[in-house]
Amino acid sequence: MTSDFKNRILANPKYGQFIRERRVVAGKFALLACLVFTDYLALLMVAPDWMAHPLWDGRITLALPVTLWLIVFMIALARRYAACAEQVFDRQLDTILDEVRRAP
């Protein structure tokens, strides 16, 4: 990528808008992940007896399904962000790059 091409991309107002939108969406996903994980940790700290409640003849505690749910939720959240990035942001960036390439 040449310096001139890079400067034209950075000067494009749509690129600035693209960066702001992507930053907002990434921030929302990160905030949601932090809130869910913080709630999980708070649950472990505030209600350890509840999390230690035995299930299935005492072999497994409630902490295991809650932790598995947390893992599945985080994976689903990451996949959702990746899908959003592919569907929305990649297309926007391709449009911006095409505009910059076509501009004299």
For 34-52, write each residue's pLDDT tens digit.
999 999 999 999 998 988 8
Q: What is the pTM of this model?
A: 0.78
pLDDT, tens digit (0-9, with 9 covering 90-100), for 62-83: 999 999 999 999 999 999 999 9
Segment 70-97 shows an average pLDDT of 92
Which long-range contacts link 5-11 to residues 24+ away (Cβ below 8 Å)? 5/100, 8/100, 8/103, 9/96, 9/97, 9/100
Give residue 6's pLDDT: 87
